[in-house]
Structure 1
Amino acid sequence: MFRWKWILIYRVEVTGMKHIKILGITGGVGAGKSTILAYLSKKYQARVIELDKAAHLCMQHGTDCFDRIVNTFGREILTEDGSICRPALSKIVFADRSKVEELNRIVHPAVKNYIREEIQKETEKGSVPFIVLEAALLLEDHYDEICDEIWYIYVEDEVRIARLSSSRGYTPEKTRAVLKNQKSDKEFRRFCQLVIDNSSDNVENTYKQIDRGLGTHGFL
C-alpha cells in the first residue's frame, strides 16, 4: 500500500562517534532495487532498511502509531487477531484523498522516528560502513533532509515492462499506467546525486557502477 523508493543517508551528530553515512536509493517500479540492496548488504555489509517494511513495524499492535490509526479509522480495519488489515485500510483511505493525507500524517513521522532510532543504534555500535534506506517517495516525504546522498536506479521502459511482465504478470498497459503516476526520469535525475543504469541483463554492469560510485562519493 505504502511504497517508498529512495535510499537515504542521514547525518547523526554524536559526540565522540564517527559520522556514519546514509545512502538513499530510489527509482520507479521494476527498477531492480531489491537486487541492488542485496548486493550492498552482502558485499559491503551495509545496514539496509526498507521503509515499506519499517512502516509495517510501526503499524504493529502495541505501538503509538497503531493506536492512532485505529482511533482514527475505526476497529473495522482490524483482523481477527487484532492486527491492522492493510487491504481494509486501503479501501477506506483511497476512497477519500483527505483520508490518505490523514493516514500519512500518522505513519510518516513514526517511520522517520524509527529510522532515526535505528541510525542512532548503528552509530553507537559502529559495526557497519554505511546505512542504506530504500523507499518510493523519498523526495515527496522530504527524506532528502536527512540524506547525505540519494541515488537513482534507472531502467529503460521496455526493459522494465519485460521484467514486470515476468515477475508480477503486469501487462504493458498496467506498467505504463503505474509509471505515469510516478516521478519522471527527468525529475529523478534532477534531485539525485548519482544515476545507476540497471537496464543491462548482465547485473555485473550494475555492480561495477555501484562499486565505482561508493568509492568516488566517499562511502568507502
Structure 2
Amino acid sequence: IVDIPALNTFYVGFNNRVAPFNDVRVRKALNMLIDRDALIKAVYNGRAIAAKGSIPPGVSGYSENTKGYSLDPQKAKKLLAEAGIKELEFDLYHRAVQSAFEICRFIQGELQKHGVKVNLKSMEWSALKDAVNNGEAGAFYMSWYGDYPDGENFLYPLFHSDNFGAGGNRACFKNEEIDKLLEEAIKTDDINKREEMYAKINQKVVDEAPWMYLWHSSESYITSDNVKNIDFSPIFFMDNGISITMKK
C-alpha cells in the first residue's frame, strides 16, 4: 500500500452572512471545539494531516508557522459568551454517502460534549450544492481538491468575494483587505515573494475562521514488488497520469 499526500482540504464551511456564523467569535469557537487528531484517527485511520488552513503541505504558501486552531473548550466558551451565545444549535448539511455521514456524526458528537446541538441534514450531491450556493445551508461539510499545485488555487477561488456560491467561495466570505492581497498576489511574478504573500494571506483567512478546518488526506494505492518507479499525481482525477514501469 502506497500513501500519497493529496492536494485537498476537508472542512465545514459556515455561511458568513447569516447568524450565528456572521460573528467571527462563533466561528473561532467552533474551530476550538473539535479534536482533529481524534477525528482523523477515528474516520481516516490516521492517514491524514490536521489542517491549519486551506493550503495543504507541498503547495506554495503552506507554512509550518501558520497558527491554526486546536482543541480549547475553555477559550471557545469564553468566545461564545462574548458573542452573547447561551445556547447554540444549527443544522450541518452533508452529502448522502456513508463516509460523510460518519464524519459529520463524529463532529456532532464532539460539539455535543460542549453543549452545542448539531442536527445532521443528508442530501444528494446536486441538492447539497444548491442548498449551499443559495444560502439555505448555514453549515456544510465539503472538500476542495486543487486543480494545480499553487497557493492561489487554495485561496482565490475559495475566499475572494467575487466568487460567492458556485464560484468556490461557498462560505460567502468577504474581506476587502484579503481581496486586495489576493489580487496583488496573482499579479506577482517573483516566486519567493508570491509564496510569502500566500502564506500571509492564508494566515489572515485562518484568523477570520470562515471554515472549520479539518484535514488534508492521502490517497492510498495498492501495488506489487514487480511494479517500479511509480509516479502518482496528487491532483484530483489525475489517476490516468500515473507513470509506472513493469519489471518482468
- TM score, norm. by length of structure 2: 0.23
More strand by share: 2
More helix by share: 1
